[in-house]
Amino acid sequence: MNISILGAGNVAWHLSQALEKAGHIIQEIYSRRPENAEKLATQLTSATATNQLDFRRSKAELFILAIKDDALEEVVKQMQLPAGTTVVHTSGSQALSGLEPLREKAEIGIFYPLQTFSKEKKLDFSEIPLCIEASSLETEEKLLALARQLSKHVYQIDSQKRKFIHLAAVFACNFSNYLWQMAQEILAEQDLNLEILAPLLRETVEKALQTNPYQAQTGPARRGDQQVVQAHLDLLEGQAFHQEIYKLMSDHILRIYHPESS
């Protein structure tokens, strides 16, 4: 398939290379910043870097919007698509309806890789879940087939479901990362680094995924060990932020596992 990518950020970086590897031809890499488009195009076999994409002259039949959420509306307004093309965006939090203005000429869809990307870090794309949605059954089939060439984990997910996946990811990843900040602060006070917890942290993730986090829960609040909970709150004396989180988390866990005592 002939494909053009709008955007030259982290998603575009990994997705375009995975598509090429699967045998597709990336025609153009578009970015407002030509140097970014150029940098990505040089990673690809035959892509042209551009900051002025002429959609009518492009050979692409699929346009992938791998741009920031807040640029989506503006870019969609400016797209002058030839008839018979397909446009997808790669955002987890934007509804399919955001592409509605393009539907007169094109098929629209979502091609959302559920992963966090960095240019410096190689990833096995075949392990990345891809969430697909489209304006028609035919386009959905086409996108699903494309997705299955890239990944072993392909899901049909409508916009409403995708919102909840995004919300779950905020809990599972963004908020956990904040807890790791707090842990790091506690360790830094003792001249220690988060590194000391690395094997434990990795193993905790694997346990939660292999069984489930309800069964995998451990710790003082899980055991109903109020003495250790109180000792920990005492250790956090004077650190209101840490105490607030420790208290709320422990209260919740106690309510679940020891409803009689909370």
Site for its own copies in 12-51 (CB under 8 A): none
71 binds its own copies (CB under 8 A): no
| CA-closest candidate to residue 71, choices 91, 54, 48 | 91
144 binds its own copies (CB under 8 A): no
In the bound state with its own copies, the residue whose beta carbon lies nearer, of 15 and 253, is 253
Site for its own copies in 76-135 (CB under 8 A): 93, 114-116, 118, 123, 127-129
220 binds its own copies (CB under 8 A): yes
155 binds its own copies (CB under 8 A): yes
DSSP 104-142: TTSEEEEEEE-S---TTS---GGGS-EEEEESSHHHHHH
Consecutive H or E run containing 44: none
Of 186, 224, 243, 258, the residue at the interface with its own copies (CB under 8 A) is 186
Site for its own copies in 195-214 (CB under 8 A): 195-205, 207-209, 212-214
User: What's the CA angle centered on 217, arms 216 and 221, to 5 degrees?
Assistant: 160
The torsion of the CA quartet 256, 164, 111, 138, rounded to 10 degrees, works out to 110
Alpha carbon distance, N-terminus to C-terminus of the chain = 60
Q: How far is the CB of 96 from its own copies (least distance, A)?
A: 16
In the bound state with its own copies, the residue whose beta carbon lies nearer, of 25 and 165, is 165
Consecutive H or E run containing 14: helix 10-21
Q: How far is the CB of 118 from its own copies (least distance, A)?
A: 7
Between the alpha carbon of residue 158 and those of residues 114, 205, 238, the distances in Å are: 14, 28, 46
Of 71, 141, 167, 230, the residue at the interface with its own copies (CB under 8 A) is 167
Question: Which runs of consecutive H residues, i.e. helices, occur in 189-225?
Answer: 198-210, 213-216, 220-223
Under rule CB under 8 A, how many of the chain's residues touch its own copies? 77
Q: Which stretch binds its own copies (CB under 8 A): 7-15, 58-66, 95-103, 157-165?
A: 157-165
153 binds its own copies (CB under 8 A): yes
Q: How far is the CB of 246 from its own copies (least distance, A)?
A: 7
Q: How far is the CB of 132 from its own copies (least distance, A)?
A: 13
Phi and psi for 113 in degrees, rounded to 5? -85, 120
In the bound state with its own copies, the residue whose beta carbon lies nearer, of 38 and 225, is 225
| CA-closest candidate to residue 67, choices 130, 3, 12, 17 | 12
